[in-house]
Amino acid sequence: MKPENFRDLMRLVHGFEAAKILLVANDLGLFKRLDPPRGAAEVAGELGVDSRALELLMNALTALGLLEKSGSTYRNAPVAAAYLAGDSYRGHIFRHIHHCWESWNDLAGVLRRGGPDLVRESVILHDEEDWNRDFIRGMDDVTRDLAPQVVTQLDLTGVRRLLDVGGGPGTYARAFLTAHPRLTDVTIFDLPFALAVARERLEGCPRRDDVRLVAGDFNKDTLGDGFDAIWVSQVLHSQSEAGCRTLLAKAAQALAPGGRLLVHEFLLDAERTQPLTAALFAVHMLVMTAGGRAYSGEEIAGWMRECGLVDIEVRKVSDDTGVVQGRRHCP
């Protein structure tokens, strides 16, 4: 919301306190310990933290609407019970965001240098297992509801073989196979640590045999060939403009004649100032990557034209994201 007065500015700036409280509580596994409801001292003993400090944190979580307090006992509010505890836990994405906080702390340094010191998002450059697992499982947390909604809007008439570049946890692969029964072969191309998560997440998928996992680095390896469609979702933003051009050219080469390239991103408008999610995400990529940012639909469409793709279209597919689509010329 656009700040209009000093009070709004203060509310904006204080936002970090609520975020930090939630992120630390999630890291501690606090929400997972409140079924049945418990007192702060008991939970503090189990977590090995100071009981007075935890009580203050839990009171603030109550004020935020994440806990409910009755006497000296706390229980999860419905939203915390739904997403931060139990089988439907989606806190990996919050753990990932908390890992990124360290890089955000250096925003002023990033502005001076033009980029981060630690290239975290360039996942090849670090091998911290927790960081990587939370990142990829976090992608599943975020896309579990979104993927089915997005893939049903895509025209995949005649598509049998689909390549999902940077397919991460396999959430889109699963959604494609559910929504498009004529697909017979979905290949997820990603780095080995991401495929390890995909393997786990795809267990029990009714069409598991139709998914292939191919380990590779799209900056070094080729993507294969003869695909009827290639899906590149939330990948370009981690690459520089030159990296995007190279990756799209590689993808265009991997298409069968008439095949479609579909790029899914937080798309900026032509001014690159809206929507808010994309403009903030551009800064996130500034602090996390060497050369990445959010892009506009027109920038991506232009790179597709450079690759010789035709019938290029840009369209919104969710509140925050859009798809840029192009087709390899069919002689």
Nearer to ligand SAM, 30 or 317 (CB): 317
Only one of the segments 50-58, 91-99, 161-169, 310-318 lies at the binding site for ligand SAM (rule: CB under 6 A); that segment is 161-169
Output 72 or 153, the one with its CB closest to ligand SAM: 153
**DSSP type of residue 320:** S
Strands of 166-309, DSSP E: 185-190, 211-215, 227-233, 255-265, 267-268, 295-296
Question: Taking Cα atoms as reference points, which of 269, 250, 271, 272 lies closest to residue 261?
Answer: 250
Q: Among 92, 110, 162, 168, which residue sits at the site for ligand SAM (rule: CB under 6 A)?
A: 168
**Minimum distance, C-beta of residue 145 to ligand SAM, in the bound complex (Å):** 12
Q: CB under 6 A: which stretch of 67-75, 151-159, 214-222, 281-289 binds ligand SAM?
A: 214-222
Residues 251, 165 contacting (CB under 8 angstroms): yes
Single out the segment in contact with ligand SAM by CB under 6 A; choices: 42-50, 83-91, 217-225, 313-321: 217-225
Given a contact cutoff of 8 angstroms between Cβ atoms, the answer to whether 260 and 326 are in contact is yes
Closest C-alpha among 183, 119, 103 to residue 151 = 183
What is the nearest approach in angstroms of ligand SAM to the Cβ of residue 185? Answer: 18
Contact between 175 and ligand SAM per CB under 6 A: no
Q: Identify which of 178, 181, 173 has the alpha carbon closest to the alpha carbon of residue 214.
A: 173
Among 19, 64, 81, 191, binds ligand SAM (CB under 6 A): 191
How far does CA 278 lie from the centroid of its chain?
A: 13
- Residue 110 DSSP symbol: H
Does residue 225 touch ligand SAM according to CB under 6 A?
Answer: no
Residue 83 found at the interface with ligand SAM (CB under 6 A):
no
Q: Which residue has the tokens 């409910």?
A: 68
Q: 166, 215 in Cβ contact below 8 A?
A: no
Distance between CA atoms of 2 and 136, rounded to whole angstroms?
A: 32
Q: What share of the chain is helix, strand, coil (3-state, %, to 5)?
A: 50, 20, 35
CB of residue 13 vs ligand SAM: minimum separation in angstroms?
Answer: 28
Q: Taking contact as CB under 6 A, which single stretch among the options 51-59, 66-74, 188-196, 301-309 is the one that binds ligand SAM?
A: 188-196
235 touches ligand SAM by CB under 6 A: yes
Tokens in use for 4?
A: 């209009």
Phi and psi angles of residue 260, each rounded to the nearest 5 degrees, phi first: -110, 140
Phi, psi of 231, deg, nearest 5: -110, 120
Number of residues written out for the chain: 331
CB of 317 to ligand SAM, least distance (A): 12
Nearer to ligand SAM, 57 or 98 (CB): 98
From the list 123, 150, 154, 263, which residue makes contact with ligand SAM (rule: CB under 6 A)? Answer: 123
CB-wise, 191 or 314, nearer to ligand SAM? 191
Stretch that binds ligand SAM, among 80-88, 90-98, 179-187, 230-238 (CB under 6 A): 230-238
Q: Is 228 in the site for ligand SAM (CB under 6 A)?
A: no
Task: Provide the minimum distance between the beta carbon of 143 and ligand SAM in the complex, in angstroms, as a whole number.
Answer: 4
Query: Which of 130, 217, 311, 313 is the binder for ligand SAM (CB under 6 A)?
Result: 217
Q: Using CB under 6 A, list all residues that contact ligand SAM.
A: 123, 136, 139, 143, 166-168, 172, 190-191, 194, 217-219, 233-235, 238
